């Protein structure tokens, strides 16, 4: 099997260190892309030093009424962020599951293709509309 590191390699997020060697835990290939997508969606534009445009407008939509217009705005915000900041993938579709919106939870599903390998992937990004509700939960690869 070929070395998948050509898809990228970087620190795991949140940063973690090996107790024995003290080295930072690294991720590569598809795992690096998935973490990059999660970081992109969790970052507000203006938060990243030296990259004021980096991020996704999801947090701007937290207090908007949950209707088809807001769903479309979420899809556009994510699609635009990926277009500009994650060139390793080609986004196929963004779908927003609003069935749990009254409980303050949206499930955003991304279907994408890794450009270099032409492999299809998907991930579910949990977006919480209420503060402090399972904010540490990581996105789960869809089955």
Q: Nearest CA to 53 among 81, 75, 34, 72? A: 81
Greatest Cα-to-Cα distance within the chain, rounded to the nearest angstrom: 51
**Mean pLDDT, range 49-63, rounded to an integer:** 91
Quick: pLDDT tens for 26-46.
887 888 888 899 999 999 999
pLDDT over threshold 90, residue 116: no
Write the CA distances from 101 to 104, 110, 129, 139, integer angstroms.
5, 18, 8, 17
How far apart, in whole angstroms, are the C-alpha atoms of residue 29 and residue 6? 7
- For residue 113, what are the β-bridge partners? 90, 120
Structure tokens at 55: 């991020």
Under the banding of pLDDT at 50, 70 and 90, the label for residue 5 is low
Q: Could you tell me the pTM of the whole model?
A: 0.77
* Model pLDDT, residue 140: 58
């Amino acid at each position: 099997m070929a070395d998948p590191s050509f898809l990228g390699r970087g620190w795991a997020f949140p940063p973690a260190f090996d107790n024995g060697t003290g080295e930072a835990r690294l991720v590569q290939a598809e795992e690096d892309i998935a973490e990059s997508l999660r970081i992109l969606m969790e970052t507000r534009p203006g938060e990243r030093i030296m990259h004021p445009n980096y991020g996704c407008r999801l947090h701007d939509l937290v207090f908007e009424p949950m209707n088809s217009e807001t769903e479309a705005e979420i899809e556009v915000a994510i699609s635009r962020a990926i277009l500009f900041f994650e060139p390793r993938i080609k986004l196929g579709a963004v779908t927003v599951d609003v069935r749990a919106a009254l409980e303050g939870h949206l499930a955003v599903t991304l279907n994408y293709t890794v450009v270099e390998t032409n492999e299809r992937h998907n991930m579910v990004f949990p977006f919480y509309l209420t503060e402090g509700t399972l904010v540490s939960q990581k996105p789960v690869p869809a089955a």
